[in-house]
């Protein structure tokens, strides 16, 4: 597929709430612009544009990379890192809060613990809205970072075997990434505790789309087969203390386990990690999660440039 980037782009003023909101051409365009920024040093401008970075729950990478992306392109940023200073504490609705902020800004980035909060914000706002994570639902820009990182380290997004490890039930990054995988010819290995397996509705979707996938409970059995091992944190609050200890030990990746890996295998993680990726993995040629985190800025630069500029070269 070829994309004529000189044309008016379809992402202009578009809300990005769920990965399914993006067409394959739009995904390709975002990756292409991100590559131009990273590899060719091409600069895009969002000068005189004001971004509202609205984070109702904690974030390090997502919030700061959106901020860095905006500032690097000459944009300005307002916002908050949590909801402690907002009138929501006085009982104001989310819809009213976001409608007002939309009047101040040219684009809203929102993270909120409630699922569907970004969709609601888009419906009440006059400016475009980007979802930076809504509960356990979606995190579409994180999925774009994974795609960009995979393309970068494997030279292609097709013909790959990808293992998804950890919390497949509640992980929003996983849910968005699976939606992204549906655009490509990949084979998935789903590795999780039984209680955190992929929801039936998503499995049905994979089947309908003809995606090849299988379920596993041990990381070791998939390591020799895959090109990408995408591991996520299992949240302690989902389990009792005893259950957590038992499960946690089964889902820790160590450097020794990677001895049987293919040479090209790269380990991705949306971060933060707790202990599911042992520190000794950092020293192996397979670790790619810090490069992946760095890619957060160029992907968000590309997205902001496309959403805020009607014509982009």
Partner 1 sequence: MSDMLSVSAIKNGTVIDHIVAGQALRIIYLLGLQKKNNLVTIGLNLRSKRLGIKDLIKIEDRILAEDEANETVIFAPAATINVIENFHVVHKIKTHLPSVAHGVFLCPNRLCVTQMEQMESCHYIHEQGKKITLICHYCEKEFDRDQVKVAV
Binding to partner 1 in span 196-215, by CB under 8 A: 199, 201
Do residues 160 and 228 make contact, with C-beta atoms less than 8 angstroms apart?
yes
Nearer to partner 1, 114 or 260 (CB): 114
Residue 138 binds to partner 1 (criterion: CB under 8 A): yes
**CA distance readout (Å), 4 to 191, 253, 276, 310:** 39, 42, 42, 13
Residue 10 binds to partner 1 (criterion: CB under 8 A): no
User: Pick from 58, 103, 113, 159: which binds partner 1 (CB under 8 A)?
Assistant: 113
Residue 131 binds to partner 1 (criterion: CB under 8 A): no
The region of 131-139, 214-222, 240-248, 295-303 touching partner 1 under the rule CB under 8 A is 131-139
Q: What is the CA radius of gyration of the chain?
A: 19
Catalytic residue among 90, 208, 240, 242: 90
- What are φ and ψ of residue 257, in 5° steps? -65, -25
In the bound complex, what is the minimum distance in angstroms from residue 94's beta carbon to partner 1?
A: 6
- What are φ and ψ of residue 148, in 5° steps? -60, -45
User: Pick from 18, 65, 192, 232: which binds partner 1 (CB under 8 A)?
Assistant: 18
In the bound complex, what is the minimum distance in angstroms from residue 156's beta carbon to partner 1?
A: 29
Q: Which of 208, 266, 82, 93 is nearest to 277 (CA)?
A: 266
In the bound complex, what is the minimum distance in angstroms from residue 242's beta carbon to partner 1?
A: 26
Binding to partner 1 in span 242-301, by CB under 8 A: none
| 61: annotated active-site residue | yes
User: Pick from 59, 137, 232, 295: which binds partner 1 (CB under 8 A)?
Assistant: 137
The region of 115-123, 154-162, 184-192, 230-238 touching partner 1 under the rule CB under 8 A is 115-123
Q: What is d(CA 148, CA 154) in angstroms, rounded to the nearest whole number?
A: 10
> Which are the contacts of 271, defined by CB distance < 8 A and separation ≥ 6?
61, 289, 292, 293
Question: Sheet containing 107-112: which strands, arranged edge to edge?
Answer: 76-80, 50-55, 107-112, 129-134
Do residues 14 and 128 make contact, with C-beta atoms less than 8 angstroms apart?
yes
| 99: annotated active-site residue | no
Q: What is d(CA 169, CA 175) in angstroms, rounded to the nearest whole number?
A: 8
Do residues 169 and 197 make contact, with C-beta atoms less than 8 angstroms apart?
yes
Q: What is d(CA 292, CA 285) in angstroms, rounded to the nearest whole number?
A: 14
The region of 113-121, 223-231, 256-264, 270-278 touching partner 1 under the rule CB under 8 A is 113-121
Tell me the number of residues near partner 1 by CB under 8 A: 19
Residue 117 binds to partner 1 (criterion: CB under 8 A): yes
Catalytic residue among 36, 38, 62, 175: 62
Residue 93 binds to partner 1 (criterion: CB under 8 A): yes
Residue 238 binds to partner 1 (criterion: CB under 8 A): no
Nearer to partner 1, 87 or 156 (CB): 87
| 139: annotated active-site residue | yes
Residue 136 binds to partner 1 (criterion: CB under 8 A): yes
Residue 125 binds to partner 1 (criterion: CB under 8 A): no
Do residues 225 and 189 make contact, with C-beta atoms less than 8 angstroms apart?
yes
In 125-278, which ranges are continuous DSSP H helix?
Answer: 140-154, 172-181, 200-208, 241-250
Binding residues vs partner 1 (CB under 8 A): 18, 93-95, 112-117, 119-120, 134-138, 199, 201
Query: What are the residue numbers of the active site?
Result: 61-62, 90, 111, 139
């Amino acid at each position: 597929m070829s994309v004529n980037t000189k044309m008016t782009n379809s992402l202009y003023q578009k809300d990005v709430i769920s990965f399914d909101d993006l067409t394959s051409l739009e995904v390709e365009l975002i990756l292409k612009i991100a590559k131009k920024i990273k590899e060719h040093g091409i600069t895009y401008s969002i000068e005189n544009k004001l971004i509202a970075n609205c984070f109702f729950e904690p974030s390090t990478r997502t919030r700061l990379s959106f901020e860095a992306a905006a500032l690097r392109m000459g944009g300005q940023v307002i916002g908050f890192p949590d909801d402690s200073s907002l009138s929501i504490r006085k009982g104001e609705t989310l819809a009213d809060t976001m409608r007002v902020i939309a009047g101040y800004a040219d684009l809203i980035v929102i993270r909120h613990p409630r699922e569907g909060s970004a969709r609601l914000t888009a419906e009440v706002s006059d400016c475009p809205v980007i979802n930076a994570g809504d509960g356990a639902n979606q995190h579409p820009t994180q999925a774009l970072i994974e795609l960009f990182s995979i393309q970068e380290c494997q030279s292609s997004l097709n013909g790959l075997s990808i293992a998804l490890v950890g919390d497949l039930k509640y992980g929003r990054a996983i849910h968005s990434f699976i939606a992204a995988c549906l655009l490509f010819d990949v084979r998935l290995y789903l590795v999780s505790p039984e209680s955190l397996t992929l929801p039936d509705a998503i499995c049905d979707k994979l089947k309908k789309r003809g995606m090849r996938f299988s379920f596993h409970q041990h990381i070791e059995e998939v390591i020799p087969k895959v090109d990408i091992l995408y591991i996520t944190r299992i949240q302690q609050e989902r389990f009792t203390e005893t259950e957590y200890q038992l499960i946690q030990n089964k889902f820790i990746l160590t450097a020794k386990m990677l001895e049987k890996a293919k040479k090209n295998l790269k380990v991705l993680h949306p971060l933060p990690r707790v202990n599911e990726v042992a520190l000794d993995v950092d020293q192996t040629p397979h670790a790619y999660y810090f490069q992946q985190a760095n890619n957060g800025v160029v992907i968000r630069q590309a997205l902001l440039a496309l959403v805020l500029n009607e014509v982009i070269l």
